[in-house]
A = this chain, B = another copy of it.
Amino acid sequence: MAPLKSWLSIPPDSDFSLSNIPFGIINSKNNPSEKRPAIAIGNHVLDLKAFSKANGFSGLPSLKDPLTVFSQPTLNAFAALGQQTHNAVRTYIQDIFSESTSNPQILKDNASLQKEALLPKHETKTHLPMQIGDYTDFYAGKNHAFNVGSMFRDPANALQPNYTHLPVAYHGRASSVVISGTSIRRPHGQILLDKTASPPQPTLTPTRALDIELELGCFLCTTSPLGTPIPIGPAAASSIFGFVLLNDWSARDIQTWEYVPLGPFTAKNFATSVSAWVVLPSALQGFRVQKLQNSTDVLPYLREESDDSVYDIQLEVDLTTPEGDTTNISRVSARHLLWSFPQMVAHHSVGGCAMNVGDLLGSGTISGASGGGGDLGSLLEACQGGKKEIMLKGMDVRKYLKDGDTITIRGVCGEDGARVGFGECVGTIESAIQL
């Protein structure tokens, strides 16, 4: 398919081509006090509140009361309208921006609305796109689970017996989810310096093993009451609003000591970063690929009609040292999942757990199958639990993150001129506070 052409100048390598149209929340130089919805396009954003106010949606009568929906400080109200509406709005905006638009009077030939609503991206700031009800982090990256299991047990018993039967997950902390660009404060916690001491003598200290987890995040757009599972198939698929990049920052030394028997807690709840622009499933439709093959014949409530339910998104992770040297430390496709998001939704709700608009699901850490380096989603795997240094530019090395390090995650599908990308998910490590 030839790239869609726009009357707006969009750099060919932009994540936000006319094929994308992701949604986010901004404020701007010309209106700093008001958070409001927008879409990203090339080096611009379209302020959907200003656009609605000027009757920009007059060509889309099926969208009722756009000004109310797009005057909210989060995307929850828009998300709650359902996928059919999301797709109608995306298609309408694609038309408004296309060279051969059927509605040139709306924006193409309307210099005053362009001035008011089409803002240079560098004059805007992004915020958390959704009010998050609950946040759940899955563990669907099978290569990651295998690598970690091999390290802590042995390769023959790397995966727990339940792993191929159900998408393992833990409840995360919604209050700790932050927007890309937020600095990450190195957390204190209990760690065991001497693992052989008896009785154990934990120390309260800033973590020495601050790690990343390269994940895809998924925001939900449906509300299901308590006691009502969301079945696999159309119901689970249509519960998905869209996707973001997600970094579930982790303190490995705290985690090792605290996680038995109820799972990770303070090792994770100090911060989780998400990228700003929510990419709709319809924008990713052409990049569906088969998920990892499951040797287990899963129970019917998790069985999908077709296995092409994950996306071939090219993810990459850069580490920039405080001195400014940037090294790419991972490149891997988001296809390396054993479970798709519709399967996660079906499992999450099978016992009747209430799901809400704005709930966030993390995929779990995504690592490639190389077994070696270059395609791993965590430093834990890359440094083999602390046994190995990772080489960086600037004659530097790392096992885990140092103060002042910046992690930048990117994700993109497709070719120049028609790229569907996520922008960046960035965080810089700040030194621990004095306790």
Contacts and interface: CB of A to CB of B under 8 A. Distances in A.
Interface string A9-30: 0000000000000000000000
A350 to B, nearest CB: 5
Nearest to A224: B175
Contact of A162 (B165, B172, B187, B260): B260
Interface centre among A175, A267, A300 (most CB of B within 10 A): A175
Q: Which of A260, A296, A430 has the most CB of B within 10 A?
A: A260
Residues of A in contact with B, size category:
35 or more
Contact of A175 (B134, B261, B350, B430): B134
Given A269-B353, A270-B353, A353-B270, A170 B170 contact: yes
Contacts of A430: 227
Interface string A189-201: 1100000000110
Interface in A121-139: 133-134, 139
A61 to B, nearest CB: 33
A225 B352 CA distance: 32
Contact of A354 (B176, B202, B264): B176
Given A175-B134, A202-B299, A351 B188 contact: yes
Interface in A150-197: 160-162, 165-166, 168-176, 178, 182, 185, 187-190
Number of copies: 2
B301 A435 contact: yes
A428 interface: no
A267 B301 CA distance: 17
A69 interface: no
A356 interface: yes
A351 B160 contact: no
A200 B165 contact: yes
Given A139-B262, A263-B261, A351-B269, A171 B168 contact: no
A168 B266 contact: no
Interface stretch (A75-83, A251-259, A390-398): A251-259
Nearest to A251: B351
Interface in A354-395: 354-356, 359
Contact of A176 (B189, B202, B251, B353): B353
A347 interface: yes
B352 A270 contact: yes
A88 interface: no
Nearest to A254: B351
A229 interface: yes
A254 B162 CA distance: 11
A92 interface: no
B258 A162 contact: yes
A189 B351 contact: yes
Contact of A258 (B134, B168, B270): B168
A229 B435 contact: yes
B351 A187 contact: yes
Closest 5 CB pairs of A and B: A263-B263, A187-B351, A185-B227, A170-B262, A171-B171
13 contacts: A133-B174, A169-B265, A170-B263, A175-B226, A175-B359, A187-B352, A189-B350, A204-B300, A226-B271, A227-B433, A254-B351, A270-B351, A301-B435
Given A160-B261, A270-B353, 11 more contacts: A139-B262, A162-B258, A170-B171, A171-B265, A175-B355, A189-B350, A226-B270, A228-B433, A229-B433, A259-B261, A262-B264
